[in-house]
């Protein structure tokens, strides 16, 4: 194969209609099954676009088998068929019937034997599939391989008569993986009884405690006859287990779990059997259950911590109300606000336990709450602009505390009895050192930077709030903090934090 034409011709070929392209895409979405059964590399061919000079066929897609060595160690998608193969592809395209290579077709490093089938949709040939193998590597086939080959031929016969793929079938792949041929294969006949069971399928079924071999029996007969525990997990799965319907289900028994996939087989008279693939997912499901349990435990811990902190905050609030000293009451209210800030973070962590959390809603809520509490019923407004983005869960509490202290400080030192507006702005910067979160809190209504000498000395961290800010920003978050005088006399505090 020579002369690369396009990197993804299946999506860009100008001569393919929308429905033909969708049919071919569905085929290549599931033809790994055929490659594994045929123990061969598969290539999908279509004629070169009309706009391209010359004749020939273009490799639209290829797939390598998991059950045999590949013969194509380089990607040939977008290449033209060699002259010796082109004649065979032309014949299959024109006749709409399968063909075999009359002699070995030479590819660098291997001698290939090729078989070809037309891909038919709505009575028209829309592509050609070629199966390539090296007969020298497999001089004699085992009984298992012969059954694989027979099943592959059945599927390819369905392809050439437009019976497969079936647009009504569910997708080939699901979250959590789908069984492959090598995991275990059962071939059902037209009576839904097994005509062949691969060794891996036998091993998988024995984990369910089946008392006999599957040959001559149906899956539904064995799974439903002796133990109530041997049951499909999903509703309506018996039709999948007896091969009447395409799809996937799970079967559980004796502490084992099997994923089962069914591919119905059809001839001119209708349904004639099925390919059933089995995969033992016992360990996978056990690990998933452990993760679910772990996630639930983590959520419960965060929820309980949040409740406990809210109780502490309520006690501080009650104590502040009973205090006769204004200074003591103010200190207790500040302590209460810090506790409430941490409680709010734990509430968010109980709802999102991912390593990275989207914190925009949390920070906006925390900022407005801090301004409201510090304002002590004064007429204060808030403005929130920009985005924090996602932050690592272990830094969210520190960032929220810094924001709480800066908002409180802005209200106490930047607004008077007449009130005002406190602003929060946040954005991300892409720097040579990495991603940086920049957020600032401004007291006063202005949001414009001072065009002159606006920087002011950083206040000495004598108060508890500023000591908290400096400790968290510089020590815990490895960031920096900067103070800037605004044209209206207000102050903007800007924090820069490296984002992991």
Pick the last residue of a domain from 280, 306, 321.
280
The number of beta carbons lying within 10 Å of the beta carbon of residue 255 is: 11
Q: How far out from the chain centre does Cα 309 lie?
A: 35
Q: In terms of domains, do 339 and 425 share one? A: no
Q: What angle do CA 424, 429, 432 make, to 5 degrees?
A: 150
The reply to whether 466 falls in a domain is: yes
Do residues 208 and 228 lie in contact, with contact meaning Cβ atoms separated by under 8 Å?
A: no
**Same domain assignment for residues 142 and 210:** no
What is the signed CA dihedral for 443, 449, 453, 455, rounded to 10 degrees?
50
Residue 4 lies in a domain: no
Residue 109 lies in a domain: yes
Residues 292 and 272 reside in one and the same domain: no
Find the CATH number of the domain harbouring 115. Answer: 3.30.450.280
Tell whether 23 and 142 lie within a shared domain. yes
Are 260 and 248 in contact, with CB atoms under 8 Å apart?
yes
> Same domain, yes or no, for 24 and 68?
yes
Q: Which residue has the tokens 């009895």?
A: 417
* Percentage helix, strand, coil for the chain under 3-state DSSP, each rounded to 5: 40, 25, 35
73 and 132 in a common domain: yes
Range of the domain at 432: 354-500
- Identify the pLDDT of residue 312: 77
> CA 274 to CA 181: how far, in whole Å?
13
* Whether 230 and 272 share a structural domain: yes
387 and 341 within one domain: no
Angle formed by the axes of helices 360-375 and 326-351, to 10°? 170
Map tokens 């991603």 to a residue.
435
In a domain, 470, yes or no: yes
Q: Taking each helix axis from N to C terminus, what angle separates 326-351 and 393-414, rounded to the nearest 10 degrees?
A: 150
Pair (296, 365) in one structural domain = no
Which residue carries 């089946």 as its tokens?
A: 210
Q: Is residue 419 located within the same domain as residue 385?
A: yes
pLDDT in tens, the chain (500 residues): 444 455 678 888 888 899 999 999 999 999 999 999 999 999 999 999 877 766 789 999 999 999 998 988 889 999 998 888 888 999 999 999 998 874 544 454 556 789 999 999 999 999 999 999 887 766 677 889 999 999 999 999 999 999 999 888 887 665 456 899 999 999 999 999 999 999 999 988 888 887 667 888 888 877 765 454 455 556 567 888 889 999 888 888 888 888 899 999 999 999 999 999 999 888 877 776 666 666 666 667 666 777 777 777 777 777 777 777 877 877 777 777 777 777 777 777 777 767 678 889 888 988 988 888 787 777 788 899 999 988 888 888 888 889 988 988 888 877 766 677 889 999 999 888 889 999 999 986 444 444 444 566 666 556 777 888 888 898 888 999 988 887 777 788 999 999 87
Residue 365 inside a domain? The answer is yes
d(CA 419, CA 422): 10
Contacts 24+ apart (CB under 8 A), 386-389: 386/425, 386/426, 386/427, 386/439, 387/360, 387/426, 387/427, 387/428, 388/359, 388/360, 388/363, 388/426, 388/437, 388/439, 389/358, 389/359, 389/360, 389/428, 389/437, 389/499
Q: Given this model, what pLDDT does residue 229 score? A: 45
- CA–CA dist 23, 17 (Å, integer): 10
CA 128 to chain centroid: 32
Residue 332 inside a domain? The answer is: yes
Element (H, E) at 395: helix 393-414
End of a domain among 160, 191, 209?
A: 160
* Domain-terminating residue out of 160, 194, 220: 160
Contact at 8 Å (CB) between 416 and 447? no
Phi, psi of 191 (to 5 degrees): -105, 15
459 burial level (CB within 10 Å; 0-12, 13-18, 19+): middle
- The domain tally of the chain equals 4
Please check whether residues 15 and 46 belong to one and the same domain.
yes
Is residue 371 assigned to a domain?
A: yes
- Residue 216 is part of a domain; what is its CATH number? 3.30.450.20
Rounded CA-CA distance 209/191 in Å is 24
| pLDDT at residue 450, rounded to an integer | 46
Does 441 lie in the same domain as 308? Answer: no
Hunting for tokens 């396009």 — which residue is that?
Answer: 6
Strand order in the sheet with 480-485: 380-386, 420-431, 434-443, 491-498, 480-485
| pLDDT computed for residue 150 by the predictor | 95
Written as one string, the DSSP assignment of 239-301 is: HHHTTSS-EEEEEEETTEEEEEEEEEEEETTEEEEEEEEEEE-HHHHHHHHHHHHHHHHHHHH
């Amino acid at each position: 194969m020579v002369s690369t034409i396009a990197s993804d011709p299946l999506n860009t070929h100008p001569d393919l209609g929308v429905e033909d392209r969708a049919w071919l895409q569905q085929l290549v979405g599931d033809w790994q099954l055929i490659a594994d059964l045929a123990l061969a590399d598969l290539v999908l061919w279509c004629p070169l676009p009309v706009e391209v000079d010359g004749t020939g066929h273009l490799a639209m897609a290829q797939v390598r088998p998991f059950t045999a060595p590949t013969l194509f160690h380089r990607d040939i998608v977008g290449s033209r068929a060699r002259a010796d193969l082109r004649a065979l592809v032309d014949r299959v395209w024109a006749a709409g019937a399968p063909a075999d290579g009359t002699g070995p077709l030479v590819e660098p490093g291997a001698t290939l034997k090729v078989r070809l089938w037309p891909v038919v949709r709505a009575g028209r040939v829309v592509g050609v599939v070629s199966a390539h193998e090296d007969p020298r590597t497999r001089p004699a086939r085992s009984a298992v391989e012969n059954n694989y080959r027979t099943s592959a031929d059945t599927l390819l016969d369905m392809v050439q008569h437009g019976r497969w793929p079936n647009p009504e079938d569910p997708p080939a792949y699901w979250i959590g993986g789908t069984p492959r041929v090598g995991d275990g294969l059962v071939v059902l006949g037209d009576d839904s009884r097994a005509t062949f069971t691969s060794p891996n399928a036998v091993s998988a079924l024995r984990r369910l405690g089946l008392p006999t071999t599957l040959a001559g029996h149906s899956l539904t007969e064995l799974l439903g006859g002796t133990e109530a525990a041997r049951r499909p997990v999903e509703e309506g799965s018996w039709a999948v287990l007896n091969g009447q319907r395409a799809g996937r289900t799970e079967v559980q028994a004796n502490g084992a779990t099997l994923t089962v996939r069914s591919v119905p087989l059809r001839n001119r008279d209708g349904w004639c059997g099925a390919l059933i693939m089995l995969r033992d997912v016992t360990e996978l499901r056990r690990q998933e259950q452990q993760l679910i349990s772990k996630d639930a435990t983590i959520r419960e811990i965060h929820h309980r911590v949040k409740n406990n902190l809210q109780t502490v905050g309520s006690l501080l609030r009650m104590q502040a109300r009973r205090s006769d000293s204004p200074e003591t009451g103010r200190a207790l209210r500040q302590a209460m606000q810090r506790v409430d800030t941490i409680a709010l973070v734990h509430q968010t962590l109980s709802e999102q336990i991912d390593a990275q959390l989207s914190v925009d809603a949390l920070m906006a809520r925390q900022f407005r709450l801090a301004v409201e509490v510090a304002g002590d019923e004064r007429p204060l407004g808030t403005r929130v602009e920009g985005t924090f983005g996602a932050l690592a869960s272990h830094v969210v509490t520190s960032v929220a505390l810094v924001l709480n202290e800066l908002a409180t400080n802005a209200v106490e030192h930047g607004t008077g009895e007449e009130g005002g507006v406190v602003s929060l702005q946040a954005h991300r910067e892409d720097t040579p050192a990495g991603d940086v979160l920049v957020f600032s809190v401004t007291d006063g209504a202005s949001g414009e930077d001072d065009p002159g000498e606006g920087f002011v000395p950083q206040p000495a961290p004598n108060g508890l709030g500023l000591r908290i800010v400096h400790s968290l920003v510089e020590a815990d978050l490895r960031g920096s903090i900067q103070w800037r005088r605004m044209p209206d006399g207000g102050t903007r505090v800007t924090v820069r934090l490296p984002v992991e």
